Each structure stands twice: as C-alpha cells, then as structure tokens.
C-alpha cells in the first residue's frame, strides 16, 4: 500500500506544482503585458509633449502666408475658371455628380474680392462628405455655404439613397478691389 500512497502523493504534488507554475506564469505574463502597455503610453506621451513644444505660434499676430489663403491676383474670369476646375476635381475625387455650376456675382469684402459659385449635384452621403472635406481642406481656402439637401428614395430598397444637393462655395482674391 505504501507505494500506491507514494504514487498518489507524487501525482498530487505534481498537480499542485503544475497549477502553481501555471498561475505564476499567467501572472508574470500579465505583469509584462502591463509593463509593455505602460511603456507604450509613456512613449506616446513623450511624442505628444514634443509635438506640443514644436507647435507654431497660433496667435493672431503670427504671419500668414497669403498665397495659401487667397487665389492669385488675376481677373475675375481667370479666378472663376480656377475655382471651377478646383471644384470639378474635388467632385470627381469624391465621386459626386455635378449637374450644374452657376457663377454668382462677385463682391468686395474687406480688401479682398469674393468669387462665389453655386454647385448643384447628386451623390450618396459618403460622396457628399468627401466633397465637403475636399472643399474645406483645399488651398487656397474655400468657404462652403448654404448647403441644401434633398433625399431621393431609390426604387430598390437595398440601394443607398441618393442626395440632390446645392452648395455655394466662395474663394477670395487679394489685392485692390
């Protein structure tokens, strides 16, 4: 009987050792994963702090590059053509169909000339979102205004709804008015 008790005791000790080693291994793995996450967070924090130190002065007195804000000094017709090409490229990249472009009367605003175009078109919501982002992020600066949307429900229920839209987009030229 003694050998069977010894064998049972050895098996029990083996199971206890395996359980203890398994739990210790899990715990050490958990600690190393936590330490790795903490190191990643610290490196991100260091990068963000470095970026915050490098941020240029955003005060109103900071110099502004007028070439990136205004269209070049040209005639109104040349500026309209440049604005029209910019909007056509943005619509093509956004996969939005332009149905019409109307040039609205230009006006003088605080030493700049404001050129306005009205776009009429059709597209899905994602395409319109991409178009608005392209207009908003463009250089020279463009100012979207007066967005009007009308949803067309498709005959096929699984198709995404198309939106008819109208949008006024303004661009500015610097110089004498």
Residue 161 — pLDDT band, cuts 50, 70, 90?
confident
CATH architecture for the domain at 66-174: 2-Layer Sandwich (3.30)
Cβ partners under 8 Å of residue 88, min gap 6: 98
| Model pLDDT for residues 96-111, shown as the tens digit of each residue | 999 999 999 888 877 7
SS3 23: helix
pLDDT at residue 36, as a whole number: 93
How far separated are the first and last CA of the chain, in Å rounded? 111
Banded model confidence at residue 63, pLDDT cuts 50, 70, 90: low
**Backbone conformation region of residue 65, classed left if phi is above 0, alpha if psi is from -120 to 50, else beta:** beta
**Which of 174, 146, 147 lies closest to 163, judged by CA?**
147
pLDDT of res. 177:
45
Q: What is the pLDDT of residues 66-92, one digit of tens each?
A: 666 788 787 888 888 888 999 999 999
């Amino acid at each position: 009987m003694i050998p069977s008790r010894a064998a049972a005791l050895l098996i029990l000790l083996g199971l206890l050792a395996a359980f203890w080693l398994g739990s210790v291994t899990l715990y050490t793995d958990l600690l190393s994963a936590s330490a790795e996450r903490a190191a990643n967070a610290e490196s991100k924090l260091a990068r963000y702090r470095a970026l915050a130190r490098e941020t240029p002065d955003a005060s109103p007195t900071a110099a502004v590059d007028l070439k990136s804000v205004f269209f070049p000094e040209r005639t109104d017709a040349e500026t309209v053509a440049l604005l029209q090409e910019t909007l056509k490229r943005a619509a093509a990249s956004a996969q939005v169909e332009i149905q019409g472009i109307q040039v609205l009367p230009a006006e003088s605003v605080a030493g700049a000339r404001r050129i306005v175009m009205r776009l009429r078109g059709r597209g899905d919501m994602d395409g319109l979102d991409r178009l608005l982002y392209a207009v908003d992020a463009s250089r020279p600066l463009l100012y979207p205004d007066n967005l009007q949307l009308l949803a067309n429900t498709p005959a096929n229920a699984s198709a995404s709804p198309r939106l008819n839209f109208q949008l006024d987009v303004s661009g500015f030229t610097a110089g004498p008015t």
